[in-house]
A and B are shown apart, each in its own frame.
Chain A
Amino acid sequence: MRSIKYDVVVIGAGPAGLAAASRAKAMGVKRVLLVDRDREPGGILQQCIHNGFGLHLFKEELTGPEYAYKFIEESYASGVEFLMNTMVLTIQPDRQIYAINRKVGMLKIEAQAIVLAMGCRERNRGAVTIPGSRPSGIFTAGTAQRFVNMEGYMPGRHVVILGSGDIGLIMARRFTWEGAKVEGVFEIMPYSNGLNRNIVQCLKDNNIPLHLSHTVTKVHGNERIEAVTVSQVDEHFTPLSGSEQVIPCDTLLLSVGLIPENELSRDAGIHIDPVIGGPVVTDEMETTLAGVFACGNVVHVHDLVDNVTRESWLAGEGAARLVLGQQPTRDLVTTKAGSGVRYVVPHKIHVENLATRTTTLYLRVLQPEENVRVELVSGTKSLFSVHQRVVRPAEMVSINVPPKRITATAGEELMVRLVREGDKA
């Protein structure tokens, strides 16, 4: 078996892996390797041909492939090495990676630091349990996206979309623009799970109806899907009898959420936060396994690639600091989700970093709110807060704490919570 050695090995060459690898290289790490199972780098961005990427980072609306191109070029130029068509099978706790590749067979890669950037996968029909027959013609929205945008197939002509996630909304427009008829988007929640601009520019622009508090309650058809039954649901998501409506279709797309892909991480014994489905990380993006870092959708599902890139730069820096012997002192504070907050990333912050650099906290709220304060609290003491005019579960909130703005001691717990403006804490 062939054995190779690198300083930093990044698993996954999507936006997270590309940013982490090129940043590690830019920090002065000698040998950086990017490993990916696909034929080419870029990850899922290559199938996201719509525009809207990079608005925050580059102040322009790039398409997915254009955004990927920038980072692929940067990685090549900085001297990152690529190992494509290679599937990582396992990561050992001593940072030995076993992988498989059609040309060389089994391969051992020894690394001083590893960055996990495997991204996420889509929830499928099994995850949402739709009763009825099991014909062909039911796709996750991302799979349909790959078929249409990269492989040149149209999966169908009469489409129903379950779930109002962004990929579903984007695909509603894409199918319409390719001449198909999208009958409607059905969302079980009383609010949409997609970005506002996608509701306007994908659905409203194309007169596609969005039905909130609705779900698919039956699939009809034997060989191929022929219709779905949709029903309205009550506040407990129970279908209301009498509200059923049969909609003929030849395709059902599911846009019902994404799950971080952490088989490798779990297998390596890395501690996973059950709320986000991804590794517990520090503000250097280091997991509970020393020398193993993680970033992007493998940690928590992002709605903007710009935030993936920012987070992955931190992971690349973190890995570089480890290799170069520049890691901060291991005095950590922990973060915790308080009222109104579903989760906070990172889970731990180096006290030293709070003094020397801006710390970004990413969080998601439990339900839509207006006119609130996101507050950082230690015990009963408020340390920092920012006003948010509106927060929605579908849009990740990021909070920047400037250097030296808060001081904390090792072991302290920082709670992040929502407070309605005008309410006393």
Chain B
Amino acid sequence: MSTIYELTCIACPMGCQIKTKVQQDKIISIKGNSCKRGELYAQDEIFRPMRVITSTVRVQGGVLPVVPVRTAEPIPKDKIGVALQEIACITVTAPVKFHQVIVPNIADTGVSVVASRPLAAKEGGEKTA
């Protein structure tokens, strides 16, 4: 039993269309790539695709109503949905520091979500204890 995976390589602008046959967690044939980097890309993309997630969280009392956040490291692609839902539920209070941890262990990946920028508190804004 083998599965066929088709992907577009992103290692360079060429964008080779790669066709692979996978059997028991191993690539048994690969076609369409024009260099070694394509093979490595296919290997990662098929067996452990990872993505950095970026989004925003609500801020109270900040100069802006939202602050951008990112996962400090890439997380498994299949955790994106859960991670985004967790991020959507969060509100932080200004001021926010650069790379302040917003969620310590997102979607149980061991990776933290951090603020991508500092965000000052609004002058004369709401005071929170």
Interface residues of A (CB under 8 A from B): 39, 42, 46, 49-51, 61, 63-66, 68-69, 148-152, 177-178, 195-197, 199-201, 204-205, 370, 389-392, 395
Contact = CB atoms under 8 A, between A and B. Distances in A.
A5 to B, nearest CB: 30
5 contacts: A151-B66, A152-B56, A196-B15, A205-B51, A390-B13
A51 B73 CA distance: 11
Given A148-B56, A151-B65, A197-B10, 7 more contacts: A63-B116, A66-B117, A151-B66, A152-B58, A200-B8, A204-B8, A205-B51
A201 B117 CA distance: 23
B101 to A, nearest CB: 15
Contacts of B65: 151-152
A196 B118 CA distance: 31
B68 A389 contact: no
B98 A151 contact: no
A201 B51 contact: yes
A200 B41 CA distance: 12
B84 A149 contact: no
Contacts of A69: 98, 116-118
A150 B117 contact: no
Contacts of B58: 152
Nearest to B10: A197
Query: 10 nearest interchain CB pairs?
Result: A65-B117, A49-B68, A152-B65, A197-B10, A390-B14, A152-B66, A196-B15, A65-B116, A63-B116, A51-B52
A151 B63 CA distance: 10
A189 B66 CA distance: 36
Nearest to B59: A152
B13 A395 contact: yes
Nearest to B98: A69
A150 B64 contact: yes
Given A151-B66, A390-B13, A50 B54 contact: yes
Contacts of A39: 63
Given A46-B117, A49-B68, A150-B64, A389 B12 contact: yes
Given A69-B98, A200-B8, A205-B51, A51 B70 contact: yes
A46 B116 CA distance: 9
Contact of A151 (B15, B64, B70, B117): B64
Contacts of B34: 389
Contact of A63 (B8, B63, B70, B77): B70
B112 interface: no
A222 to B, nearest CB: 30
Interface in B52-98: 52-56, 58, 63-66, 68, 70, 77, 80, 84, 98
Contacts of B64: 150-152
A196 B54 contact: no
A64 B52 CA distance: 13
Contacts of B51: 201, 205
A150 B57 CA distance: 10
Contacts of B7: 200
Nearest to A66: B116
